[in-house]
């Protein structure tokens, strides 16, 4: 599809599974979007068993910009991969089913790409909708951050709740990895797509102008499980790029600098969880020879990280116990 063939400027993609009640809040925000740019919304039902399909189809009848899509394979990677292929926009904006889009969202996204025509992708600011929710899965940076091509991208640099990718970039990278994402053991489909774009030669940016309000409804008691999910995602993401010859050196160095214990000894424990997830991802994806080599290396690394974490815990306990 050539650029002149794109019927709309911005396609908004929202994937959902069994959340028909809170989805309505997100759909209502779509109704309030105001823009002179042509836009559409693809709302994808990821194998829901509740009233999700009914809610989306009812909304599409009153909002001509909205369209229903379906994907049976569970997981946000599979859902987003199917959804973007149903879009008709030059720019594809991804958000979540617990997010609220401000009325100027389309204009702010279009503005960023109009000012920087060579930009391949971007992420935007994510604020809490409800101040009583735990301050997680948000991004409050107030300045632009450039993401160069052919470079390590740390997990969390951009988040899927407010992520925009040019359609031609999605075509070149083959879309999303359907093995990844929330609903799978490896919730990292968003940063994986960003890294795929970076190593395909595209540069991107974080820009605070397009804002999403995240109404995730999770409280302080939910935070430990969220952190564990982040650890699983990082481990799989790093493993995927360790397996690629071109990216291996950058990701060995980047993983150590990001998750290693150089500055905070307590991160030994987190590093151990990431390595465990990397091993699980490895078991599903590679040849026998790669599994043997990397499996042995990761196994030793995981045992060492657990030993180091326990050693640090004992030393810190003894220091506190000394008079």
What is the residue-averaged pLDDT of the chain?
89
Token readout for 62 is 């009153």
pLDDT at 2: 47
The model's confidence at residue 109, banded by pLDDT at 50, 70 and 90, is very high
- Find tokens 């925000």 and name the residue: 29
Q: What average pLDDT does this structure show over 73-80?
A: 98
| Predicted confidence (pLDDT) at residue 309 exceeds the cutoff of 60 | no
Nearest to 76 by CA among 164, 172, 158, 188: 188
Please list the residues that pair with 204 across neighbouring strands.
121, 147
pLDDT at 282: 84
Distance CA 76, CA 178 (A): 8
Are 242 and 295 contacting, i.e. CB atoms less than 8 angstroms apart?
no
pLDDT at 93: 98
The model's confidence at residue 63, banded by pLDDT at 50, 70 and 90, is very high
What crossing angle do the helices spanning 288-321 and 267-285 adopt, rounded to 10°? 170
How far is CA 180 from each of CA 20, 80, 91, 187, 192, rounded to the nearest angstrom? 23, 10, 22, 6, 9
Q: pTM for the complete prediction?
A: 0.88
Give, as one character, the DSSP assignment of residue 132: T
Q: Quote the Cα angle for 297-303-309, to 5°.
A: 130
Span 252-279, pLDDT tens digits? 899 888 766 554 555 777 888 888 898 8
Span 174-207, pLDDT tens digits? 999 999 999 999 999 999 999 999 999 999 999 9
Span 114-134, pLDDT tens digits? 999 999 999 999 999 999 999
Please tell me the least confidently modeled range out of 93-97, 210-214, 294-298: 294-298
Span 139-182, pLDDT tens digits? 999 999 999 999 999 999 999 999 999 999 999 999 999 999 99
pLDDT at 6: 76
Distance CA 277, CA 236 (A): 6
């Amino acid at each position: 599809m050539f650029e002149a063939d794109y019927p709309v400027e911005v396609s908004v993609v929202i994937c959902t599974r069994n959340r028909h009640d809170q989805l309505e809040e997100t759909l209502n925000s779509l109704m309030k979007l105001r823009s002179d740019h042509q836009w559409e919304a693809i709302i994808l039902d990821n194998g829901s068993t509740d009233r999700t399909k009914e809610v989306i189809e009812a909304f599409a009848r009153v909002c001509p910009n909205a369209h229903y899509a379906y994907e049976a394979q569970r997981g946000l990677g599979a859902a987003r991969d199917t959804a973007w292929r149903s879009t008709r926009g030059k720019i594809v904006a991804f958000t979540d089913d617990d997010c609220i889009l401000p009325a100027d969202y389309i204009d702010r996204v279009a503005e960023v790409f109009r000012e920087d025509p060579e930009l391949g992708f971007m992420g935007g600011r994510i604020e809490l909708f409800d101040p009583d929710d735990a301050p997680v899965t948000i991004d409050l940076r107030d300045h632009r951050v450039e993401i160069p091509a052919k470079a390590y991208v740390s997990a969390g640099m951009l988040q899927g709740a407010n992520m925009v990718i040019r359609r031609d970039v999605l075509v070149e990278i083959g879309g999303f990895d359907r093995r990844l994402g929330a609903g799978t053991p490896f919730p990292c489909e968003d940063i994986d797509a960003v890294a795929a774009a970076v190593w395909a030669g595209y540069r991107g940016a974080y820009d605070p102008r397009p804002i999403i309000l995240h109404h995730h409804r999770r409280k302080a008691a939910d935070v430990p499980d969220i952190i564990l999910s982040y650890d699983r995602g990082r481990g799989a993401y790093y493993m995927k790029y360790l397996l690629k010859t071109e990216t291996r050196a950058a990701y060995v160095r980047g993983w150590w600098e990001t998750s290693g214990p150089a500055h905070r000894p307590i991160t030994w424990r987190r590093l151990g969880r990431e390595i465990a997830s990397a091993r699980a991802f490895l078991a599903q994806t590679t040849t026998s020879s790669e599994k043997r080599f990397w499996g042995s290396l990761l196994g030793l690394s995981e045992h060492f990280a657990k030993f180091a974490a326990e050693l640090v815990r004992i030393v810190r306990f003894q220091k506190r116990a000394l008079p």
